[in-house]
Amino acid sequence: MDPSELFEAIRAKKLETVKKLLNEDCDLSVFEEGGNNTALALAAYMRQPEMIEYLLKKGANVNDRTKSGRTALHQAVWQYDKRSVELLLEAGADIHAFDNENWTPIWLSDRWESFSILIERGARVDGVDQDGATLLKRMALATSSSRQDDGIKMLNKLVELGLKVSNEKPNEYGKTLLMETINQYPTNKEKNQIAHWLLEQGMDPLHGSKSGGTALHYACKVGDLELVKTLLSLGILFYRDSSVRIAFLQESRIKSDFLLPAKRRVRFEKS
């Protein structure tokens, strides 16, 4: 029997077809072509708890790894279905299993519910991934463009568990987590809670990247008026980047007429 039929049935969410194939002795231990999926991992990715339950009853190994090192629990947390996560945990899924990026399942959580379930089960929050990023950085960036309410809960929990914003280092381009978070301005255009949270936690708004940009450059670039006001209230003004462009003029959606009082207004030429 061609194993691809099993994976096609899982993708089509056809539980009865999956049952039929397994009753015909289709091998559950096979990987999809390329090694990117086990049957259980694919069912988890497709958010199919009934299929997961059936595959487990038929003997699927809950901790089998895909080519990328991910388990079914990684996929269930990533695509998030509560029942799928619960079934896998009840079956003995390893919450500490690392994938090839050095991510355990909690690193793929961008929702408070899935995050808190794993925390309650004892998921570790220390360590870094292959790029040297912490879980705090991962959660900040994963939730900065959406689900910021969940993101703030997760970040506060991580701080409670011992992670520190002061330990966050700029990336290879000299950009701080604050800059990266601002650059991922919420798609709903509401207050950028995570950027404000990072400021409250003491992240330096004056730090300049290797190109000379500051948090103010990024706030102007994305048009975050509220954050611009906050940064200006901290005394951040007239920081130039390496191209000698004023932050207010750097691809800004903020009108300089608003930012510069008439008596301090100056004409600047873009380079």
Instruction: Tell me the torsion sign for CA atoms 48, 83, 42, 151.
Output: positive
pLDDT tens per residue across span 96-106 = 999 999 999 99
pLDDT band at 233 (very low <50, low <70, confident <90, very high): confident
One domain for residues 188 and 268: yes
Q: 185 and 97 in one domain?
A: no
Residue 129, in any domain of the structure: no
- The boundaries of the domain holding residue 175 are 169-271
Q: What is the residue type of 94?
A: D
- 19, pLDDT greater than 50: yes
pLDDT tens column, 131-155? 999 999 999 999 998 899 999 999 9
| ∠ Cα 215 145 213 (to 5°) | 15
Alpha carbon distance 100, 95 (integer Å): 15
Band of the pLDDT at 255, cuts 50, 70, 90? Answer: low
For residues 31 and 46, the model is more confident at: 46
With 70 as the cut, is the pLDDT of residue 14 above it?
yes
The proportion of the chain whose per-residue pLDDT surpasses 70, expressed as a percent, equals 85
User: At which of 57, 78, 105 does a domain end?
Assistant: 105
pLDDT of residue 195: 96
pLDDT band at 223 (very low <50, low <70, confident <90, very high): confident
- Domain's final residue, options 105, 127, 146: 105
Give the model's pLDDT for residue 107: 99
In the predicted model, what is the mean pLDDT of residues 229-257?
59
Specify the CATH number for the domain of residue 225.
Answer: 1.25.40.20
In a domain, 115, yes or no: no
Asked if the model's pLDDT at residue 39 lies above 90, the reply is yes
Sign of CA dihedral 186, 189, 193, 196: positive
Question: How large a percentage of the chain has pLDDT more than 90?
Answer: 69
Provide the token pair at 130: 């292959």
- What was the pLDDT predicted at 265? 39
* Domain-located, residue 247: yes
How sure is the predictor about 129, in pLDDT bands with cuts at 50, 70 and 90? Answer: very high
pLDDT of residue 128: 96
* pLDDT 10s digits, 186-214: 666 678 999 999 999 999 999 999 988 89
Instruction: Tell me whether residue 218 is in a domain.
Output: yes
Q: How many domains, in total, are found in the chain?
A: 2
Domain match, 100 and 175 both: no
**pLDDT of res. 35:** 83
For residues 88 and 146, the model is more confident at 88
> Of 105, 126, 152, which residue is a domain's last?
105
Average pLDDT of the chain? 88
With bands split at pLDDT 50, 70 and 90, how would you rate the model's confidence at 86?
Answer: very high
pLDDT of 9 higher than 80? yes
Residue 247 has pLDDT above 70, yes or no: no
